[in-house]
Structure 1
């Protein structure tokens, strides 16, 4: 069990964050390993969850004493209290500030890791947010403090760990963005952090191809020959246990998944579709390559159902449990 608690950020307040936070606390309050505190507006969270016991604390160190009986909150009042599903621009600077403060607390060791509630990126752009999402923002915050960062997004669903080598870019731009260097760099980060956080000493890393049938020896594209295979050859020479390139349409059934510990996919949907098919409600987003632990639910703010009692908390609960396991591996 990590000695410090985990920290949960507020995310977009108008989304489902407040209600799934309440459900996660209720599910985990008697699991000491999963102790977490919220960085957010205590009064607004209480308004969204009238039956939820909430207690303001002055520092993360007070969270463990409070957690079994109430949700511990480092109170950061919002400029305005939005109605569920209705974004208010006034809250955007505070959503950004919460992520910045959370990163500071994680870097200082005051918290064992971060679990981030979903943000609404388009709502933050007016406040100066210029990032693809949490992962690159947190990486930049850590880099500003002098830490080396090699951020890698990994999605976890049951026995599947999937990493998209290229992430939030148009599909037409993937072939140009996919490089041998990028594949090698991400694979080395994955191998290192699977040992660090998951105890897998020599992880088996699989790789998909980019094209159907892995290009059929160049008949349907040369990316496998010119980009992916050279990366795998280099990784083998470096002592990594690699498999592939595999045709993506046969890489995710149970027997295939049993042959690897993680799979690196060439673009976003190659990784995300199997994750969400295997465990739509319980998938978790993990940021590897940062100087602290960060997980998040694998879904968005769900503004359309916010405040209606329909939000499923399983992904957030799974994200907290996974962050706790990762923190425990460092003890």
Structure 2
């Protein structure tokens, strides 16, 4: 096997294995049985149809938030504002789901599109400031997260409701829930949003890899000056990249608002979906297919961890440690790469 060719695949796999091994060591040191812990984790992911449905439900927004981060990364930008874009997309989807009485064939797509537009608008602000005034997108997008959190809370309390902490449930015509999936997965919250996530993955891959505009976006990310001298509109592409990234994040919010919960509520803190999307993109190597694998890993760990305290007595905080270790080893990919090359040379 050509090590160079498969390096991007090997490094995340090795990082996951190292994270799991270190997690097992921590369990042993803490007095827990790692075999029982990981068995409970596995059962919590694949043990029955309900757990599988909940895992797929958790994977769905992770795919979209991972795509949002990965798309920006591939075009030379760091969209750390995905969390805020998720929040505004969530609220926008629920608002449309409550405000209109339309046939499902119109109501559901409209709710999803408005959520994507809301996320795109929230991504436009840091993109415009980056392109026009050279303000770093990380700083702006971090601040936009907090603005999104408090603005959406204020809208829920003072506009959509009369000082309530949550909205009414959306109309059935705007729901992503499916009776087929409920019956198939013993009434889990799995919904049709998984198909939207897969379609979005294909769109990102096709746009970046198979279109002229995708080549322009990647070229601007690699080198602004070279792209400018070749005649590309650098500022326009920076804004477009953040807008598309925000649209993916807005869709992730729609998955929660129209599928998992079917309402919007006042939040005391961030959902974590946008921040976890950074790790999903990192594990997936910022590729469309890799994001799916990263989302499966994170979604499985998040849902499976809920079974560990009851089945094995292991606190689910240890799963958070395992996730953190996996991210650490992926971030330390240079050392893994170095070890692999050294192992290859010694094997010759």
Higher helix share: 2
Per the TM superposition, whether the score is higher than 0.5 is no
**TM-score (norm. length: structure 1):** 0.27
Task: Looking at secondary structure, tell me which structure has more strand per residue.
Answer: 1
